[in-house]
Amino acid sequence: MYKLVALDLDGTLFNNESKVSVRNIDAIRNCHHHNIDTVVATGRPPRFTFGHIPEILARDYTVCYNGAQIYHNHDLIFEMCMSHDLVQSIIAYVTSQSSEIKMALESRDVIYSNFDMKRVWPDIESRDLKDLADYDHICKVIILNKATFDDGSFNETYQDLCNVIFTDGGKLIEIVDKTVSKLAAIEWIAQRESIKIEEIIAFGDDLNDIEIIKHVGLGVAMSNGHDKVKEVSNHVTASNDCDGVAIVLEKIIEDRS
């Protein structure tokens, strides 16, 4: 019997217009009616999560920054930032590789970058990295131009200190504290709620979902997802534009009834 549903957003619960369909919302509401809780598990920062998800989800658990923050009913209840020295070391390392590497840091729900972010993501407001004075609250470091960044060499140097997460089909690199992952966050929530890992369903589409898809009771990949996610999943559902999440949840509730 499943007790918790973990939902990635982009490419999974969100359709290609970054919206949650009525059918998906109805399926989530029906899960709640049958005492199955939900948790959003995304790499997004809070500012691009709350306000973009239905309130029916925001009232439950929300995992941001790939697990660096956990919210419950909008309240921050867990946070794991990177150490000041580690962040400074990473910045120095990246800069030494190439001054052309595009890098951004997330701090207190504000993003600081060493480039004009609007040229890459027109809708994202950022501040100059030079204006960042406090390095004690960095949840995530982002590397955009993967082609010019030697992630293999980086892993050799920082593998015991960082968790390097690939998103956007492997084109984007996100660096967080070694203990941070979507799976670690879901396990933290499960322990808090006395839920076993095998009682959890997880939906995902990208490389940062692989770990959680592999370890929960039912790991579901979206048909539009990365092939590596599909390979480790228990089931492949329809695409994010065809209510793939709802299709699985409806069947689970039907079988339960």
Q: Beta-carbon neighbour count of residue 77 at 10 Å?
A: 13
Band of residue 97 on the pLDDT scale cut at 50, 70, 90: confident
Kind and range of the H or E element at 153? Answer: helix 151-158
For 7-52, what is each residue's pLDDT tens digit?
999 999 999 999 999 999 999 999 999 999 999 999 999 999 999 9
Q: Domains along the chain?
A: 4-79+180-256 (3.40.50.1000), 84-177 (3.30.1240.10)
CA–CA gap between residue 46 and residue 28 (Å, rounded): 21
Band of residue 196 on the pLDDT scale cut at 50, 70, 90: very high
Return all residues near 151 (Cβ < 8 A) that are at least 6 apart.
143, 164, 173
- Predicted pLDDT at 240: 98
Angle of helix 151-158 relative to helix 84-97, nearest 10 degrees, comes to 150
Nearest C-alpha neighbor of 216 from the set 53, 41, 9:
41
What is the CA angle 193-198-201, rounded to 5? Answer: 85
For 216-227, what is each residue's pLDDT tens digit?
999 999 999 999
Strand ranges (E), 147-246: 162-167, 172-177, 200-204, 218-222, 235-237
pTM of the model: 0.94
Q: Are 72 and 37 in contact (CB under 8 A)?
A: no
For 120-159, what is each residue's pLDDT tens digit?
888 888 899 999 988 899 999 999 876 677 778 888 888 8
Return all residues near 116 (Cβ < 8 A) that are at least 6 apart.
none
Residue 197 in tokens: 């890992």
